[in-house]
């Protein structure tokens, strides 16, 4: 990238980081009491994916360490939101599934955040959303490739 484009790249990443922080703050305020964004993210992933996942698979999906995922899963298991069992084929591994209580907690969280998301989407407008999504997706894919 040329020196002239460098401030543009810095401005892009500055906007992304600031937007990320603002979204996280808003989400944290509207999520049900005691639920963290990481908890919702894992529950949402498990609900949408269907079936079980290993902690290692979840850590890879969320681009976090296994230790960080184990910590999140421990909190979710304590709350009764996930079931963790030994892998019957490999006793060294575990498998994680969302529980009925976890599905209810995920649905409650989704109901709580949906108005905020809808409001932001409406304010931006469908044309802008359709224009920015491919760019953000491409940026994410590039970052995943380099990660």
pLDDT in tens, 53-81: 999 999 999 999 999 999 999 999 999 99
CA distance 58 to 122: 32
Q: Which residues of 28-48 are buried (b: 16+ CB within 10 A; e: fewer)?
A: eeebeeebeebbbbbbebbee
**Residue ranges covered by each domain of the chain:** 31-146
CATH class of 31-146: mainly alpha
Q: Judge whether residue 43 has pLDDT over 90.
A: yes
Predicted pLDDT at 5? 67
pLDDT class for 42, splitting at 50, 70, 90?
very high
CA distance 120 to 79: 31
95: three-class secondary structure by DSSP: strand
Predicted pLDDT at 92? 86
Q: Where are the beta strands (DSSP E) in 27-146?
A: 82-86, 94-98
Give the global pTM.
0.85
pLDDT class for 126, splitting at 50, 70, 90?
very high
Mean pLDDT computed over every residue of the chain: 93
């Amino acid at each position: 990238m040329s020196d002239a484009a460098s401030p543009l790249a810095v401005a892009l990443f500055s906007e992304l980081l600031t937007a990320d922080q603002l979204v996280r703050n808003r989400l944290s305020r509207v999520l049900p009491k005691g639920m963290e964004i990481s908890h919702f993210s894992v529950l949402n992933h498990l609900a949408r994916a269907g079936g079980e996942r290993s902690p290692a698979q979840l850590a890879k999906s969320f681009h976090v360490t296994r230790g960080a995922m184990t910590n999140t899963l421990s909190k979710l298991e304590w709350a009764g939101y996930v079931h963790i069992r030994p892998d019957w084929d490999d006793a060294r591994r575990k498998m994680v599934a969302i529980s009925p209580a976890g599905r209810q907690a995920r649905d409650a969280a989704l109901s709580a955040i949906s108005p905020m998301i809808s409001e932001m989407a409406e304010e931006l407008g469908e044309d802008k959303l359709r224009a920015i999504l491919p760019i953000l997706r491409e940026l994410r894919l590039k970052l995943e490739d380099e990660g």
